[in-house]
Amino acid sequence: MKKMLFALAATAAFTSAYPAVAATSLLTTDVGYTGRGLNLTAFANGNYNFTFGPINVDGFTFTAAPGGGGNSGQGSVVGQGSYGLGANGSFGGPAVYIGVDSGTGYAQLLGATGYSQMGFFMNYAPGIGDNATIEALDAMGNVFATYDIATLAPISTPGGFNQFEFRGIASDTANIYGLRFGGNYILLTGTRNGVPNVPEPATWALLILGFGVIGAALRRRGKVRVSFA
């Protein structure tokens, strides 16, 4: 009996010293997303705004790895300058984004509040440098979950402009304080409850055409009603 009690006590002590690792999963859609948004409008000044940080980005502390200086050698981009993504097209104004400006290295956003979900709209340059990854950070900035999105949930936007898809990480506890992202010139923009997607010129043309068709239909209806009066 004493041996059994000792074994149970030892197990309890071991469990408290090494708490269970949170279960995580990769998010590939913002449908039902309840995590934190990201508003980048403060950096919508038409510039690249290169920086290694630390700087405040919508309540997050933003930092970039020194090894991720990339083409500019001045740090990651937090702005609107033209940004090439190889086979996946390009990015630039009016969209505002954060880009690592390198095929290697990483940048990260770390906040003061934990969430069970965190993700952003993003894109990357396929096959250039290390595979694009996102990682979950705990309150101390330590990585506790890593996902290779280039392999597990690839993004393909051939020749696109300002096109992106949602990627993020979910946890069974509110222990995600930030995200680290790197490789493949990865970049990210806001979320649905942060910076809205700006329709491209072609999209605006379709919308205007649609409104014109609706207006013409309404005018025809009006004429029909008058003819039967």
Burial of 91 (0-12, 13-18, 19+ CB in 10 A): buried
Query: CA quadruple 135, 153, 31, 21: dihedral positive or negative?
Result: negative
Query: Given 1.10.275, 2.60.120, 3.30.160, 1.10.3470, which CATH number is that of 22-198?
Result: 2.60.120
Task: Note whether 168 and 135 are within 8 A (CB).
Answer: no
Tens digit of each residue's pLDDT (9 = 90 or more) over 165-191: 999 999 999 999 999 999 999 999 987
Q: Which residue has the higher pLDDT, 21 or 13?
A: 21
Tens digit of each residue's pLDDT (9 = 90 or more) over 95-130: 999 999 989 999 999 999 999 999 999 999 999 999
Per-residue model confidence (pLDDT) at position 191:
74
**Domain edges within the chain:** 22-198, 199-229
Q: What is the pTM of this model?
A: 0.77
